[in-house]
Amino acid sequence: MYVCICNAVTDKDINQAIKQGARSLNDLSTQLKVGTCCGRCKDCAKKILDQSRPFNIQTLNFPSFNLETNLDTAPELAFASL
């Protein structure tokens, strides 16, 4: 199926680029010129890219711990799981 008519890019081309390391729409644009003309193909290309991932990656916001600024509680945290 043609995804990008302007640059004659198919879903097979996109899947091959993904196998070769493309990880973002920007990567696909650089390698295949997807989305560089009219832009109508971006949503479909992104969908193919997202479906190629084994799972949806989400950013987890865990509180950070800085040992230098939290020296008072560092020993307590080190043994908290014991």
Per-residue model confidence as pLDDT tens digits over 13-69? 999 999 999 999 999 999 999 999 999 999 999 999 989 877 655 555 666 655 555
Q: Does residue 75 belong to any structural domain of this protein?
A: no
DSSP 64: P
Rounded CA-CA distance 56/50 in Å is 8
* pTM as predicted: 0.65
Q: Does residue 77 belong to any structural domain of this protein?
A: no
Q: Does residue 68 belong to any structural domain of this protein?
A: no
Q: How many C-beta atoms surround the C-beta of residue 1 within 10 A?
A: 7
Q: Is the pLDDT of residue 8 over 90?
A: yes
Q: Does residue 24 belong to any structural domain of this protein?
A: yes
Rg (CA), the chain: 21
Count structural domains, the chain: 1
Q: Does residue 73 belong to any structural domain of this protein?
A: no
Parent domain of 10: 2-52
Q: Does residue 58 belong to any structural domain of this protein?
A: no
Q: Does residue 41 belong to any structural domain of this protein?
A: yes
